[in-house]
Homo-oligomer: A and B are copies of this chain.
Amino acid sequence: MNAPALTKNQALVFEVLEKADGPLSAYTILDKLRDHGFRAPLQVYRALEKLLEYGVVHRLESINAFVACAHPDQNCHSHGIVAFAICESCGHVMEFHDHEVDHRLMNWTRGKKFKAEKTTIEIRGLCETCAA
């Protein structure tokens, strides 16, 4: 999905996520935008819905949070599954993909005639700094 120009709310939410140094919950985003007129969760969720659709934001299912895409330029999402490593101590997220993993999972689903729509890979643990 290519991203059209963002609306005001979408741009505000995206900006907050870009500036953050880690994933944010929808309600945290809401709090950061109260000064800009945001009053209700739906304003955030509606913007997030579009940003996810455009592929510029990812949702981390295992921690109910959202993060700006780390690969804004290359549209790597069009050719593979995105995986995340999430540090449970400092909150930092690393985004990557591995075509071999994609391939293996696709092989499995094909064998089962399962039609995959959306795949989540999230590794929780400790980043190098926090594990030391």
A residues with CB within 8 A of B: 61-62, 83, 85, 87-88, 94, 96, 98, 100-101, 104-105, 108-109, 112-128, 131
Contact A125 B120 (CB under 8 A): no
Contact B117 A108 (CB under 8 A): no
* Total copies of this chain within the assembly: 2
Quick one: closest B residue to A62, CB to CB? Answer: B61
Contact B122 A120 (CB under 8 A): yes
A101 CB contact (under 8 Å) in B96, B101, B117, B125? B101
A119 CB contact (under 8 Å) in B88, B94, B123? B123
Contact A122 B61 (CB under 8 A): yes
Contact B85 A120 (CB under 8 A): no
Contact B105 A98 (CB under 8 A): yes
Contact A98 B104 (CB under 8 A): yes
Contact B105 A126 (CB under 8 A): no
What are the residues of chain B within 8 A of A128 when measuring CB–CB? 112-114
Contact A120 B83 (CB under 8 A): no
What are the residues of chain B within 8 A of A96 when measuring CB–CB? 108
Quick one: closest B residue to A124, CB to CB? Answer: B118
